[in-house]
Amino acid sequence: MADLSINLAGIKSPNPFWLASAPPTNSGYQVQRAFEAGWGGAVWKTLGEPIINTSSRFAAISFNGQRVAGFNNIELITDRPLEVNLKEIYETKKRFPNHAIIASLMVEPQQEKWHEIVKKVEDVGVDGLELNFGCPHGMAERGMGAASGQVPALVEKQTYWVKEMAQTPVIVKLTPNITDITATAEAAVQGGADAISMINTINSLAGVDIHSWNTIPHVAGKGAHGGYCGPAVKPIALHMVGECARNPRINIPISGIGGVSNWENAIEFMLMGATGVQVCTAAMHHGFRIVEDMIEGLNNYLDEKGIASVNDLVGKAVHKYSDWGDLDLNYKVVARINNDVCINCNKCHIACEDTSHQCIDMLKDGEGNPILRVREEDCVGCNLCSIVCPVDGAIDMVELPNEFPPMTWNERQAAIGALACAVDTVK
Amino acid sequence: MSLKSISYEDLSSNFDEVEAGLSNREALEEANRCLYCYDAPCIQACPTGIDIPTFIKKIASGNLKGSAKTIMSANPVGASCSRVCPTEELCEGACVLNHATKPIMIGNLQRYATDWAMKNEQLLFTAGEKLGKSVAIVGGGPAGLSAARELALLGYDVTIFEAEEKAGGLNTYGIVSFRLPKAVSYWEVEQVKSLDVEIRTNTRVGQDISVKEIVDCYDAVLLAIGMAHVPSLGIPGEELAGVYDAIEFVKETKTKPITDTLLGKKVAVIGAGNTAIDAATCSVRLGAENVKILYRRTLEEMTAYDFEYEFAKQDGVEFRWLTAPTKLIGEKDKVVGIECMKMELGEPGEDGRRRPIPVEGSEFTLEVDAVIKAIGQSRYLDLIEAFEISHDGGVVTIDSETFQTTNAKIFACGDVIFGKGQGEAMVVSAAQQGKQSAYSIHQLLVPTMETV
Ligand SMILES: Cc1cc2nc3c(=O)[nH]c(=O)nc-3n(C[C@H](O)[C@H](O)[C@H](O)COP(=O)(O)OP(=O)(O)OC[C@H]3O[C@@H](n4cnc5c(N)ncnc54)[C@H](O)[C@@H]3O)c2cc1C
Ligand SMILES: Cc1cc2nc3c(=O)[nH]c(=O)nc-3n(C[C@H](O)[C@H](O)[C@H](O)COP(=O)(O)O)c2cc1C
Ligand code: SF4
């Protein structure tokens, strides 16, 4: 049994699986059920001035019959009185002293408001704070959430105000609704944050009903943009985590969020620099019980790889994540089709023919059976055929030996520059 | 079910497992089709209560070890069960998708996960801390193994006494290899052995070791001896050559090289339970030209499962309903014919099934080269008597909650308590009873401890 416990900027939890601040962590009853099921921590549903939530809030995207490929919501922060939440946090912490409870907070961008709420939640014994600078709807219209979170100076200032008061570690939760997330991440570091978490939800409109012409979801015939999450956003979240992890100026731990649905996803986030992960949609889809497989799957993976502690995964793939200019332009892979495995659906052919480089030929073998073959000299190694192929092992992308030494774009430009200089001096 | 055709050149190839396992892709697609219901009816329908949605979810997430563990922790013979359970009547019959599309292939997914564990030589459990108490288990079939596993997890010193050369009971020797290869049963035995359970094979209790020694030397005893050979038909000619006991007949195909004795022959199987089906399909695979099942009642009363009936029909087995043998006819001490009588159904008997009544003057004769008796199994009466516990015609009397016999330190489960309206003779129920007996023994020996 590997050691699954983590310590994220001083917040300890028995495993790296936390529930993200969202409906699953709305109440003491729910968080206690979650801890019983095995979750290592929970970020409480965002606390602040109670608001009114709309009826009809969520929508989801089904993809080819699979439900909840992506999830969309127009829910705001908690609609329960602060005192009730505080009481339940206190009770939950007392029952589960070894589990992490983090209070997610959102107030108007004023120093005294932040001081006031920080004091209140710390008084009931939370293990840490998460500043919600990410909620993209509703709260943003009131100058909070993403409205603050998109302005680096506001992120820095508010983080600083919180740090003035806070006794427990402060996590800043970032919005993905920004061109370069490292800008706000750096602002959080400047403000003194102990950790950052990402991503909150992405601005979205789930759909339009083509018969009633209503938005999906709608509230009495009207809709507003919401926040997108779930499996569909994982690549976006992973990219943002990776960008922050490899930025030397962002040298604080990361809590990874966005589309984590199973133990494999969690490992990906941790390899890309997250110290732990937070989950919302997957729990909303299946219930708290999914954590059992997450824990067991992670543990089996670590045991199988002979890794003693889950912390040994953190950031192990970050050095492999770089800029395009650092990629070797002389590296070459080509597609190779294994005709004994291929079922002749011809999807690879038409994908390549119509939309890539026209190098998969439809031929006949000696006995007149149809076969597909890649003209390797024309193949650019784009992977498209292997992506559309429905059969495991029918198309391999194989590495070709190269007569040229590795050369990146940056190296190439540097070499050309040096050459230009040399010419200059001669002249 | 896709059956491959019978080979007459290479008979032993007919005994390879009929159904291919799911491919990785099939398993993944099917696992992702599962709704992962909460409080799922399939769990209720499984006698051992396997957490089916969880093990399937684990296949989908790629946690195959965890999946196998979920299965095997609820059912110590879960790999065998994935192959021999009447899933249409159990888990798959309860799947909510029966009402929407089509049920999840639970059995096949269960096989996929346990096959993975088998292939990757996984040991899934570790023995509990020793309690310093000992339990003797008589019989290493599904019931005995299941109890042994649970007791070992609880920390007991467990010794299984097994009469045969290998443990596994009917899973090893009784259920035909093309449905259940021996290797699967052996793997399950190994899982139990790896928990420090001592399995003393080739040790027949009452013969190689006395009943008294067993009862005196252990803190508790579990009787899981199953049932015995097929009883006699009670008609003339049973001693002729070419007349077989179905259980022995199947066992030969699992323990000895396959022979061509039945190649091109006519075979009549008497009876229509699991055993009859296995004997009949075995005969087909041994190259018999014609195989008939003779049953004195009708399809309605037959105890074989639907899937078994379908399987036999696909194998070309003929069914003769309302047909009872009255005499086996021999020539030079060898069976050559079977005299039968037509039956009709009368009033329901004690067991609720309608009683067959001979139709006068309906005698006819079938030409046969072999007759296989499959009319149920008799009981180890002498052994049960030697334990000095109550029984009703060899069906050991138990407290239906605790599986305790009339001797407080002796428990009984599995086929040995099946019959007279009690229980069902299935691998999965034997497994469940084994678990429950283990918990009752635990309750008896360490009453202060929490029950499982
Ligand atoms: C041909 C056939 C096909 C079947 N098909 C199916 C099927 O498809 N699905 C299904 O669910 N069920 C099937 N069954 C029923 C199933 O096999 C039994 O219900 C199950 O094996 C009962 O388990 P058990 O442990 O009680 O008994 P058994 O499996 O009979 O095991 C009893 C063990 O005790 C040992 N033993 C007996 N006497 C002694 C002694 N004196 N000392 C030491 N050891 C002793 C025996 O050698 C044996 O190993 C089938 C049965 C038969 C005969
Ligand atoms: C219905 C709903 C409500 C949410 N409410 C909050 C919130 O109050 N505070 C917050 O920080 N994030 C909130 N989120 C965002 C989640 O915490 C999380 O960042 C996001 O859903 C991405 O994770 P996922 O892909 O696992 O769902 C909410 C998400 C959903 C779906
Ligand atoms: S999940 Fe369904 S029942 Fe529950 S609050 Fe939402 S709409 Fe109502």
What whole-number distance in Å separates Cα of residue A188 and Cα of residue A190?
A: 5
Instruction: Give the strand pairing for B220-223 and B410-412.
Output: parallel
Distance A217 CA to ligand 3 centre (A): 14
pLDDT reading at B424 higher than 90: no
User: Is B4 a residue whose pLDDT tops 70?
Assistant: no
Give the best residue of B29, B32, B52, B63 to mutate against chain A (max A CB count within 10 A). Answer: B63
Task: Tell me, yes or no, whether A405 lies in a domain.
Answer: no
Residue A108 CA, ligand 2 centroid: distance in Å: 19
pLDDT of B245 higher than 60: yes
Residue B97 in tokens: 């998708």
Segment B172-199 shows an average pLDDT of 97
* A250 and A394 assigned to the same domain: no
Chain mean pLDDT for chain A: 95
Q: What is the ipTM of this complex?
A: 0.87
Same-domain check for residues A299 and A337: no
- pLDDT tens figures, A31-78: 999 999 999 999 999 999 878 999 999 999 999 889 999 999 999 999
Looking at residue B450, its pLDDT comes to 55
CATH code, A328: 3.30.70.20
**Is A330 found in the same domain as A303?**
no
Percent of chain B with pLDDT over 70: 98
Same-domain status, A195 and A332: no
Q: Flag whether pLDDT at A309 surpasses 50.
A: yes
Q: What is the pLDDT of residues A273-293, one digit of tens each?
A: 999 999 999 999 999 999 999
Residue A135 appears among annotated catalytic residues: yes
Which of A290, A300, A391 has the CB atom closest to B65's CB atom? A300
- Same domain (yes/no): A242, A372: no
Q: Which residues pair with B78 in a beta bridge?
A: none
Instruction: Judge whether A277 lies within some domain.
Output: yes
Domain assignment present for residue A423? The answer is no
Alpha-carbon distance of A53 to A258, in angstroms, equals: 23
User: Which among A271, A301, A317 is the end of a domain?
Assistant: A317
Q: Is the pLDDT of residue A265 over 90?
A: yes
- Terminal CA-CA length for chain B: 38
* Partner residue facing A262 (CB), from B24, B61, B69: B61
Cα separations in angstroms, A46 against A105, A139, A220, A277, A401: 5, 11, 26, 17, 54
In the predicted structure, residue B26 carries a pLDDT above the cut 60: yes
The yes-or-no verdict on residue B204 having pLDDT over 80 is yes
What is the rounded distance in angstroms from the CA atom of residue A163 to the CA atom of residue B245? 84
pTM: 0.91
CA distances to A331, A333, B303 from A398, in Å: 11, 5, 57
Taking only the tens place, the pLDDT of each residue in A321-350 is 999 999 999 999 999 999 999 999 999 999
Does 1.10.760.10 match the CATH number of domain B21-119? no
Query: What Rg do the C-alpha atoms of chain A give, in angstroms?
Result: 25
Q: CB-hemisphere CA count at 13 Å for B347?
A: 2
Q: Retrieve residue B22's tokens.
A: 């799911």
Distance CA B20, CA B108 (A): 10
Given a contact cutoff of 8 angstroms between Cβ atoms, the answer to whether B404 and B132 are in contact is no
The reply to whether A101 and A165 lie within a common domain is yes
Helices A290-305, B52-61: axis angle to 10 degrees equals: 50
pLDDT per residue as tens digits for the range A18-37 = 999 999 999 999 999 999 99
Q: Which of B269, B290, B264 is nearest to B279 (CA)?
A: B269
* 8 A C-beta contact, residue A336 and residue A375: no
User: Binning pLDDT at 50, 70 and 90, where does residue A427 land?
Assistant: very low
Q: Which atom of ligand 1 is nearest to the CA of B413?
A: 26
Which of A297, A317, A337 is the last residue in one of the domains?
A317
Query: A405: buried, middle or exposed (CB in 10 Å: 19+, 13-18, 0-12)?
Result: exposed
Q: Do B63 and A297 touch (CB under 8 A)?
A: yes
Question: What tokens were used for B109?
Answer: 């997914």
- pLDDT one-digit tens code per residue, B293-328: 999 999 988 989 988 999 999 999 999 999 999 999
Question: Whole-number mean pLDDT of chain B?
Answer: 95
Domain that holds residue A335: 324-399
pLDDT at B86 over 50: yes
Q: Residue A136 pLDDT > 60, yes or no? A: yes
Question: Does residue B423 have a pLDDT over 90?
Answer: no
Mean pLDDT of A220-232: 96
Q: Which CATH number fits domain B134-228+379-445: 3.40.50.150, 3.40.80.10, 3.50.50.60, 3.30.450.20?
A: 3.50.50.60
Contacts of B94 (CB under 8 A, 6+ apart): B41, B42, B44, B45
User: How far apart, in whole angstroms, are the C-alpha atoms of residue B358 and residue A418?
Assistant: 108
A160 falls in which pLDDT band (50, 70, 90)? very high
Residues A253, A8 contacting (CB under 8 angstroms): yes
Whether B21-119 shares its CATH topology with B134-228+379-445 is answered no
CA gap A204, B144 in Å, rounded: 59
Buried b / exposed e over B118-146, threshold 16 CB at 10 Å, is beeebebbebeeebebbbbbbbbbbbbbb
The CA A200 to ligand 3 mean position distance, Å, reads 23
Same domain, A211 and A281: yes
Q: What is the DSSP letter of A11?
A: E
A288 close to B (CB below 8 A): no
Residue B390's pLDDT is 97
Residues 248-267 of A with CB under 8 A from B: 262-264
Q: Are residues A253 and A349 in the same domain?
A: no
Number of domains in chain A: 2
**Is position A421 within any domain?**
no
In this structure, are strands A395-399 and A195-198 parallel, antiparallel, or unpaired?
A: unpaired
Domain locations in chain B as residue ranges = 21-119, 134-228+379-445, 243-373
pLDDT for B2? 39
Q: What are phi and psi of A211, to 5 degrees?
A: -100, -45
Map tokens 């049953």 to a residue.
B295
Token code pair at residue B243: 């007349």
The arithmetic mean of pLDDT across residues B414-427, rounded, is 91
The answer to whether residue A404 sits within a structural domain is: no
Fold of B243-373: FAD/NAD(P)-binding domain (3.50.50)
The DSSP-derived string for B167-180 is SSTHHHHTS-TTTS
Between CA A289 and CA B115 the distance in angstroms is 25
Look-up of token digits 């099921």:
A37
- In degrees rounded to 5, what are phi and psi of residue A256? -85, 135
Residues A394 and A256 in one domain: no
CATH number of the domain to which A77 belongs: 3.20.20.70
| Residue A255, pLDDT above cutoff 50 | yes
Contacts of A306 (CB under 8 A, 6+ apart): none
In this prediction, residue B56 carries a pLDDT of: 98
A121 touches A47 (CB < 8 A): yes
Same domain for A335 and A288, yes or no, is: no
pLDDT higher than 80, residue B329: yes
Contact: B57, A290; criterion CB under 8 Å: yes
A371 and A294 together in one domain:
no
pLDDT digits (tens, 9 = 90+) for A74-121: 999 999 999 999 999 999 999 999 999 999 999 999 999 999 999 999
Q: pLDDT band for B1, please (50, 70, 90 cuts).
A: very low
Distance of CA B292 to the CA centre of its chain: 23
**Mean per-residue pLDDT for A168-183?**
97
Question: Is the residue at A290 inside a domain?
Answer: yes
Position in ligand 2 atom list of the atom nearest CA A229: 25
Same domain assignment for residues A144 and A275 = yes
